[in-house]
């Protein structure tokens, strides 16, 4: 059980793993992962801007003094997870082939900055963009897509600590990857996992997102790190999955929470066949732990059956 205030910075999860929290977790404020062992380190994602990534890297150096960041894993192509990659020129960047393509397909930093400030502030869109993106400094960003790509699954290591990179997209984006550290019981979910809210589904389909959540459960990881947020409640993986495809098992509504604009996508329509299918009934399974960076409390949750049940 870990209890840490939801404050910006690097927090240790296990002997060799860390999470970098980025409150408030809304648009552009993403979490990152760090695995450090035997003088080497692997960083899971960078930040939205160069100043934010510099702050991340200072935290990396403080957490793992002297460790060389050999690899940067890009979980997906959204800028808030990879627009700081250029600040690690000596590290190999790795991600799915679809993510490498996705980086080129995303809106560029220059175009985003132009959109924010060229849209009249008196309009609803202009006000929204200024409110949630106007404080980011997108200057100087050179897009750095993953230079090593894979499809399906790959393995990397930091020192003697092995990591499995599992491609689970298209779901949130075209090339989502989750990072499993088996020996530490940790999984970095990228934006496959938000905290106690409906995710943003840029790509879909919903079925892939469900399968991704099931795959997270299958790993047996004790600590599951979401790509954003965490301050406002739990994200039991089954409940997160159910937001993507509600089923017949009702969940009690969580306590009133302030919603993140990051998550204000409309929920997909409920599929009646999915709700009623006996194959989808929850079964007792292994227990997992998920981060609740409200206090960064790790607690146990029940998981469900294998993906084959879907």
Range in contact with Zn ion (rule: CB under 5 A) among 24-32, 45-53, 119-127, 169-177: 24-32
Of the pair 165, 280, the CB lying nearest Zn ion is at: 165
How far apart are CB 261 and Zn ion at their closest, in Å?
12
Query: Does 46 interact with Zn ion (rule: CB under 5 A)?
Result: no
Q: At what angle do helices 237-244 and 206-219 cross, to 10 degrees?
A: 170
* Integer Cα distance of 247 and 230 in angstroms: 24
How far apart are CB 248 and Zn ion at their closest, in Å?
31
How far apart are CB 14 and Zn ion at their closest, in Å?
24
Range in contact with Zn ion (rule: CB under 5 A) among 73-81, 132-140, 177-185, 202-210: 73-81
Range in contact with Zn ion (rule: CB under 5 A) among 77-85, 96-104, 203-211, 282-290: 77-85
One of 80, 106, 184, 197 touching Zn ion (CB under 5 A): 80
Query: Does 30 interact with Zn ion (rule: CB under 5 A)?
Result: yes
Of the pair 80, 242, the CB lying nearest Zn ion is at: 80
Of the pair 27, 67, the CB lying nearest Zn ion is at: 27
Range in contact with Zn ion (rule: CB under 5 A) among 70-78, 108-116, 151-159, 300-308: 70-78
Of the pair 78, 304, the CB lying nearest Zn ion is at: 78
Of the pair 27, 37, the CB lying nearest Zn ion is at: 27
How far apart are CB 290 and Zn ion at their closest, in Å?
17
How far apart are CB 198 and Zn ion at their closest, in Å?
14
Contact call for residues 197 and 256 (beta carbons, < 8 A): no
Q: What is the CA radius of gyration of the chain?
A: 19
| Residue among 10, 9, 64, 12 nearest 298 (CA) | 12
Positions of E strands within 38-106: 40-44, 68-73, 92-96
Of the pair 11, 172, the CB lying nearest Zn ion is at: 172
Q: What is the DSSP string of 238-297?
A: HHHHHHHS--SS--PPPPP-PPPGGG-PPPPPPPHHHHH-GGG------EEEEEETTTTE
How far apart are CB 191 and Zn ion at their closest, in Å?
4
Phi, psi of 176 (to 5 degrees): -55, 140
x/- map, 137-176, Zn ion, by CB under 5 A = ----------------------------------------
**What's CA 310's distance to the chain center, in Å?**
23
Cis omega before residue 52 (within 30°)? no
How far apart are CB 28 and Zn ion at their closest, in Å?
8
Contact call for residues 166 and 153 (beta carbons, < 8 A): yes
Q: Rounded to 10 degrees, what is the CA torsion of 102, 225, 48, 192?
A: 30
x/- map, 224-253, Zn ion, by CB under 5 A = ---x--------------------------
Contact call for residues 172 and 216 (beta carbons, < 8 A): no
Question: Tokens 């980011």 identify what position?
Answer: 136
HSE toward the beta carbon, residue 21, CA cutoff 13 A: 23
* Integer Cα distance of 173 and 169 in angstroms: 6
* Integer Cα distance of 156 and 160 in angstroms: 10
x/- map, 178-207, Zn ion, by CB under 5 A = -------------x----------------
Residues that bind Zn ion (CB under 5 A): 30, 78, 80, 191, 227
């Amino acid at each position: 059980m870990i209890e840490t205030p939801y404050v910006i910075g690097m927090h240790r999860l296990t002997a060799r793993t860390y999470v970098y929290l980025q409150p408030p977790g809304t648009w552009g404020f993403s979490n990152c992962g760090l695995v450090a062992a035997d003088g080497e380190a692997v960083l899971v994602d960078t930040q939205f801007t160069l100043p934010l990534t510099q702050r991340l890297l200072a935290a990396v150096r403080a957490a793992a003094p002297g460790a060389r960041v050999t690899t940067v894993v890009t979980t997906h192509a959204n800028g808030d997870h990879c627009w700081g990659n250029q600040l690690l020129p000596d590290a190999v960047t790795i991600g799915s082939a679809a993510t490498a393509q996705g980086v080129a397909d995303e809106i560029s930093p220059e175009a985003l900055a132009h959109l924010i400030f060229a849209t009249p502030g008196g309009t609803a869109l202009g006000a929204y963009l200024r409110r949630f993106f106007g404080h980011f400094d997108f200057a100087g960003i050179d897009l750095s897509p993953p230079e090593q790509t894979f499809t399906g699954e790959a393995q990397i290591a930091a020192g003697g600590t092995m990591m499995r990179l599992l491609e689970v997209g298209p779901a949130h984006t075209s090339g989502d990857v989750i990072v499993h550290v088996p020996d530490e019981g940790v999984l970095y979910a990228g934006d496959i996992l938000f905290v106690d809210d409906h995710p943003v589904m840029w790509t879909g389909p919903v079925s892939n997102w469900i399968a991704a959540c099931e795959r997270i459960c299958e790993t047996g990881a004790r600590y599951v790190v979401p790509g954003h947020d965490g301050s406002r409640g739990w994200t039991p993986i089954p409940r997160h999955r159910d937001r993507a495809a509600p089923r017949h098992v009702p969940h009690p509504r969580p306590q009133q929470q302030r919603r993140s604009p990051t998550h204000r996508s409309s929920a997909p329509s409920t599929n009646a066949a999915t709700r009623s299918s006996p194959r989808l009934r929850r079964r007792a399974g292994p227990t997992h732990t998920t981060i609740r960076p409200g206090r960064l409390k790790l607690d146990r949750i029940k998981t469900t059956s294998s993906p084959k049940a879907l």
